[in-house]
Structure formats: C-alpha cells, structure tokens
C-alpha cells in the first residue's frame, strides 16, 4: 500500500543516527562494562515536589480533557515568568502547551514553513531538526557554525544564504550539540536580517537554565522591536530533570498562537491537566536541580578538556552551557564514526558528530550527565584509547 509524501521525506531521518547508542544499550543489558555518554539524560531524578504535585492533581481528578491551548493556570504562570524574564508583557494567549519541546517545535515549524520555502538552520544541529523541516515540505538550508567562531552563528553567514524563499531561521541557544550561546549583539544582527527580509525566527531555548558560570543566556524575545516575528519553544525536560513527563510550550504573538491553535488542537488538543499542574509549580517555584546540574556539567567539561588536552592529542571544545562537550578526534588520525565504534569496544559509548552534521565528521559528542565515579572511569578509558591510537599512527 502507498504511504504519503511526508513519510518518504522523513524516511532517512529515523533511528540510524542513534546506532552507537542503541548498540551500547544492548551490550550493557547483556552485561558488558560500558560507560554510556551518548544522550543527555539529567543526572538527578525528578524533584519530589513535582512528583507529589502530579500525584495530588491526579487524585483530585485532574485527568480529564484539557483546554486546547493548554491549561489556563499553566499559561498564566508562563505569562508571569516570561514577563519577568524577557522585559516585556506576556499574556496567557501568547502560549500554547505541548508534550515537550520537540512537539512544540514541530507544530511551530508547521505553522511557518511549507513546500517551496527554505528554512535556515545552524549546522551542526540537533539530530531531529532535519526531520522537523522536512516534514513541512520546506528545504533546509544549513548555515555553518564553525569552531573558529565558537560555533556561534554569524549574521554574515546567514545573510549570504537568504533568498526570496527564506521563511524562517531556526536558532538553538544554548546550542546542542556544542554548548555555544548567542549574545545580545548576535541576536540583534539576526533579528535585523529577519525584519529586512521578512522571515520568522524560531528559538529553541530548552537549555536556558543550564548555563555555566560566567556565561549569560539572552532570548530574542527580549528584543521588543522584533517580537511579532519571534517564536520560542521550551519545556521542563532539562531544567527540572523531567524529560519523561513531556511538558513543553510554544510562545509567540497572540496572532501566531491563534493561527496555530487549530493545528495544535487537531494534533493533540492540549496537555494533560495533572501534568499542567506539575509544570505550573515548576514554572512558579523555579528549579531545585538546575543550578546543581549546571555546576556539575561545567566542572566535568573542564575536567574533560584539561585532562584530554594535557594527556592526549585530542582537542576539546569547552561548552558554555548544556549537557555535552565536543571532542575533535582528527589529531589521532580517526573520523568520528570510526572512533565512536572503536571506543565502544574499549568501554565508552559516545555519539559520532556525523549524527548532527556532515561538518562534524571529525568530532564526537560526549554527555556530561553521568556521575563522577563513572566519569573518572570514562576519562581513563578515553585517555588510554586515544594514546593507543596515536601510537598506532606513529
């Protein structure tokens, strides 16, 4: 039987990027001693106060159908939080609630892009972005993010790729996989381009609260002159160590949210009321775990960079935020895919850079989310493996 064009467009964006991770999981389940550093699971459980709120709400009967926009109590909490942090006023109708950032991003992209359009995306990019753009029928236009520029998007690189078909620019700051953060001047230059050429900016801000000491997060939503063309997506998955609850949102102008609402309601019709109550508490009270995670991830990133660069030929890009660090494996004569598979046989699982971009074929992404004892074991194995490969090349 024939399936639709969208299934064909997405056929190459399935699970193959996660082969190393899935193989590692199978081998760990079979009893092998492998340290898993592939995906960004928080290193702490869901805060107990959030669990208790979810259970209390379920027992109180908050298990029925939701408002199609998302529960009003949650949208009110989001409006108050964003008004306090973005320097301008937001109302509940500036928000739509979704199960996680991924769904919010998918819906937002479906609201601004279609067949014949082009969407500019920083390259490297999170593994699902290609599929999100392809689902709309639009063409993805990569904008290079280079190590020389700290993996920060450059306005000149964007300007060189704008065409009459450009309909949106997808930003990720803090960035996955590199941990780079766009500053206010960076965002202002990009927003000026968006206004001059009349395209949308979609900002994935899920790592907003995972910023390391000395760095600062800035949202394009703070640039009030460009507010009507900025859409942001986020969730409690990272900041509140709650990825399994799938609770996220989209924020934009009321006109955009009104236009997207019928699509959202057709897809899922709001979020679960008991999860909305839990998320309201998370939004109002802030995170009891984000600061600790950020401090640990920053410390582990520093330790990784210091040790590998002192004791091996490997090169580490120091992140400013997030859950990951990038390692350039070219100095030991390997590409990222071969390195990841070879390293798996030496007891450490990492993600090949090619999962995020063809430009990262010499890199791997390392999760900083494992506990300190496992991290020390992984470091020792990384150093031993790299030095053995260096000797082979010599």
203 Cβ contact partners less than 8 Å away, ≥ 6 residues apart: 171, 172, 173, 219, 220, 221, 230, 231, 232, 233
Q: How many domains does the chain have?
A: 2
Going from the C-alpha of 170 to that of each of 60, 127, 279, 384, the distances in angstroms are 40, 13, 25, 39
Q: What is the CATH number of the domain that holds 389?
A: 3.90.1150.10
Closest by CA to 241, choosing from 345, 157, 329, 323, is: 323
User: Residue 165 — pLDDT band, cuts 50, 70, 90?
Assistant: very high
Q: What is the mean pLDDT of residues 158-185?
A: 97
- The yes-or-no verdict on residue 392 having pLDDT over 80 is no
**Where among 285, 306, 330 does a domain terminate?**
285
Burial of 256 (0-12, 13-18, 19+ CB in 10 A): buried
pLDDT in tens, 72-81: 999 999 999 9
Task: Quote the longest CA-to-CA distance of the chain.
Answer: 68
pLDDT in tens, 324-364: 999 999 999 999 999 999 999 999 999 999 999 889 999 99
Say what the pLDDT of residue 9 is. Answer: 87
- State whether 166 and 193 are in the same domain: yes
Q: What is the mean pLDDT of residues 259-277?
A: 92
- The yes-or-no verdict on residue 261 having pLDDT over 70 is yes
Say what the pLDDT of residue 14 is. Answer: 62
**Where among 285, 300, 333 does a domain terminate?**
285
pLDDT in tens, 107-126: 999 999 999 999 999 999 99
**Where among 285, 319, 347 does a domain terminate?**
285
Say what the pLDDT of residue 391 is. Answer: 73
- State whether 245 and 139 are in the same domain: yes
- The yes-or-no verdict on residue 15 having pLDDT over 80 is no
Say what the pLDDT of residue 270 is. Answer: 78
Q: How many CA atoms lie within 13 A of 124 on its CB side?
A: 28
Closest by CA to 323, choosing from 202, 206, 184, is: 206
Closest by CA to 228, choosing from 270, 271, 258, is: 258
Q: Are 129 and 141 in contact (CB under 8 A)?
A: no
- State whether 387 and 297 are in the same domain: yes
User: Residue 36 — pLDDT band, cuts 50, 70, 90?
Assistant: very high
Rounded Cα distance between 55 and 278, Å, is: 9
- State whether 55 and 41 are in the same domain: no
Say what the pLDDT of residue 57 is. Answer: 98
- State whether 80 and 34 are in the same domain: no
Per-chain mean pLDDT for the chain: 95
- State whether 295 and 255 are in the same domain: no
User: Residue 195 — pLDDT band, cuts 50, 70, 90?
Assistant: very high
Spell out the SS3 assignment of the chain: CCCCHHHHHCCCCCHHHHHHHHHHHHHHHCCCCCEECCCCCCCCCCCHHHHHHHHHHHHCCCCCCCCCCCCHHHHHHHHHHHHHHHCCCCCHHHEEEECCHHHHHHHHHHHHCCCCCEEEEEECCCCCHHHHHHHHCCEEEEEECCHHHCCCCCHHHHHCCCCCCEEEEEEECCCCCCCCCCCHHHHHHHHHHHHHHCCEEEEECCCCCCECCCCCCCCHHHCHHHHHHEEEEEECCCCCCCHHHCCEEEECCHHHHHHHHHHHHHHCCCCCHHHHHHHHHHHHHCCCCHHHHHHHHHHHHHHHHHHHHHHCCCEEECCCECCEEEEECHHHCCCHHHHHHHHHCCCEECEEHHHCCHHHCCEEEEECCCCHHHHHHHHHHHHHHHHHHHHHHC
Range of the domain at 251: 48-285
Residue 208 has a CB neighbour count (10 Å cut-off) of 21
Tokens of 46: 């869901």
Tokens of 389: 């490969």
Say what the pLDDT of residue 18 is. Answer: 86
- The yes-or-no verdict on residue 383 having pLDDT over 90 is yes
Q: What is the mean pLDDT of residues 184-194?
A: 98
- State whether 301 and 273 are in the same domain: no
Say what the pLDDT of residue 16 is. Answer: 74
């Amino acid at each position: 039987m024939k399936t639709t064009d969208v299934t064909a467009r997405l056929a190459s964006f399935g699970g193959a990027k996660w082969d190393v991770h899935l193989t590692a999981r199978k081998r760990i389940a079979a009893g092998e001693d492998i340290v898993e550093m592939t995906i960004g699971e928080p290193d702490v459980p869901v805060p107990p106060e959030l669990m208790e709120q979810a259970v209390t709400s379920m027992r109180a009967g908050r298990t029925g159908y939701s408002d199609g926009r998302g529960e009003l109590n949650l949208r009110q909490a989001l409006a108050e939080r964003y008004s306090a942090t973005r320097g301008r006023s937001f109302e509940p109708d500036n928000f739509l609630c979704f199960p996680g950032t991924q769904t919010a991003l998918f819906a937002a992209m479906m609201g601004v892009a279609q067949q014949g359009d082009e969407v500019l995306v920083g390259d490297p990019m999170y593994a699902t972005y290609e599929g999100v753009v392809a689902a709309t029928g639009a063409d993805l236009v990569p904008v290079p993010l280079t190590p020389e520029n700290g993996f920060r998007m450059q306005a000149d690189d964007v300007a060189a790729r704008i065409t009459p078909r450009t309909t949106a620019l997808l930003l990720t700051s803090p960035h996955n996989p590199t941990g780079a953060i766009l500053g206010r001047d960076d965002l202002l230059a990009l927003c000026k381009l968006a206004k001059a050429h009349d395209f949308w900016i979609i900002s994935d801000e899920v790592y907003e609260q995972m910023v390391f000491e000395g760095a600062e997060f800035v949202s394009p939503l703070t640039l009030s002159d460009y507010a009507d063309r900025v859409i942001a997506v986020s969730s409690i998955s990272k900041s509140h160590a709650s990825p399994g609850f799938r609770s996220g949102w989209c924020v934009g102008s009321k006109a955009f949210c009104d236009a997207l609402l019928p699509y959202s309601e057709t897809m899922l019709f709001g979020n679960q009321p008991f999860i909305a109550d839990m998320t309201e508490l998370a939004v109002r009270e802030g995170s009891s775990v984000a600061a600790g995670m950020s401090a640990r991830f920053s410390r582990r990133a520093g330790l990784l960079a210091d040790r590998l660069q002192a004791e091996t030929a490997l090169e580490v890009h120091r992140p400013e935020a997030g859950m990951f660090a990038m390692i350039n494996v070219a100095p030991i004569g390997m590409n990222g895919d071969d390195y990841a598979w070879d390293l798996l046989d030496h007891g450490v699982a990492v993600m090949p850079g090619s999962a995020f971009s063809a430009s990262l074929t010499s890199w791997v992404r390392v999760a900083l989310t494992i506990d300190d004892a496992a991290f020390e074991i992984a470091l020792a194995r990384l150093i031993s493996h790299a030095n053995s490969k260096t000797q082979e090349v010599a």
